[in-house]
């Protein structure tokens, strides 16, 4: 399969990485808060050179710029609630038409509701005559997620994600790469976690069932070292693209 995909991709001018001759196309990373979607998306970006599109990051950027969407999002985020579907869909639509999505993209944190999933399916059918979407669900035991969420710290410069319990930086509170002071997301507290998990169970878990019902779906155990989870996702995508 590798050769055929590689040669077809080469003919159409797409970037094919040696050793990983797969054209990734649209990939959805699904899973509860704290399963490692963002960390894994960054691994796939390095491998495939396609963009990570995190709706959480896009909304935080709106918040930091003080836009109307950002102000609304900030309040909802702190309550563990979701931003209304139409606002998030419009934001995603604007991002998906950017030229760097030509060979594919990794959606991280979207879709999070059934209406978002239906919107995405229709949008891709209308706009993307390339590859169908591949959905990978990352699974981590519920009881381990709280530790992952409350221990999470981010570098504000390079966006590297650490965990003070599981993957601490060499110097406490300081990014290994940039030397910047690490920050904690305002919704990564135990109080917010509860609301986020309730939202996840009610609104987002059905999205996993929606994609499980389609043929291009895989599950990966997220309770392993980062590289092993990444390897599981890559081999799932390669298999589903074969």
Residues that bind ligand AMP (CB under 6 A): 33, 55-56, 59, 76-77, 80-83, 88, 109-110, 112, 116, 187, 196
Q: Whose CB is nearest to ligand AMP?
A: 56
Rounded to a whole number of angstroms, the minimum distance from the CB of residue 36 to ligand AMP is 11
Other CB atoms closer than 10 Å to residue 107's CB: what's the count?
A: 24
170 is catalytic: no
Q: Which is nearer to ligand AMP, 6 or 89 (CB)?
A: 89
CB 176 within 8 A of CB 160: yes
Is 112 among the catalytic positions? yes
Give the nearer residue to ligand AMP in terms of CB position, either 72 or 174.
Answer: 72
We find the least distance from the C-beta atom of residue 10 to ligand AMP, in angstroms, to be 35
Per the annotation, the verdict on 42 as an active-site residue is: no
Q: Which of 112, 148, 153, 241 is catalytic?
A: 112
Tokens in use for 136? 């990978």
Nearest to 130 by CA among 25, 53, 50: 25
Give strand ranges (E) for 1-114: 25-30, 52-54, 104-108
Do residues 29 and 106 lie in contact, with contact meaning Cβ atoms separated by under 8 Å?
Answer: yes
152: which strand partners? 163
Give catalytic residue positions.
37, 112, 152, 185, 196
């Amino acid at each position: 399969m590798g050769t055929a995909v590689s040669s077809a991709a080469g003919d159409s001018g797409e970037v094919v990485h040696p050793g990983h001759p797969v054209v990734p196309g649209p990939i959805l990373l699904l899973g509860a808060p704290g399963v490692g979607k963002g960390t894994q998306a960054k691994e796939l970006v390095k491998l495939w050179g396609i963009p990570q599109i995190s709706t959480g990051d896009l909304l935080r950027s709106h918040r930091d710029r003080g836009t109307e969407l950002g102000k609304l999002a900030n309040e909802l985020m702190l309550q563990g609630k979701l931003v209304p579907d139409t606002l998030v869909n419009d934001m995603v639509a604007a991002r998906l038409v950017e030229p760097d999505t030509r060979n594919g993209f990794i959606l991280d944190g979207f879709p999070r509701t059934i209406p978002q999933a239906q919107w995405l399916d229709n949008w891709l059918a209308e706009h993307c005559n390339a590859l169908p979407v591949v959905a990978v669900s990352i699974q981590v035991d519920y009881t381990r997620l709280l530790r992952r969420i409350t221990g999470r710290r981010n570098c504000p410069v390079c966006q590297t994600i650490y965990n003070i319990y599981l993957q601490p930086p060499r110097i406490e509170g300081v990014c290994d790469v940039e030397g910047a002071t690490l920050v904690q997301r305002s919704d990564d507290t135990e109080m917010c976690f509860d609301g986020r998990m309730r939202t996840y169970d009610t609104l987002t878990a059905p999205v996993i069932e929606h994609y499980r019902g389609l043929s291009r779906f895989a599950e990966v155990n997220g309770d392993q070292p980062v590289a092993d989870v990444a390897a599981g996702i890559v081999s799932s995508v390669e298999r589903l693209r074969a």
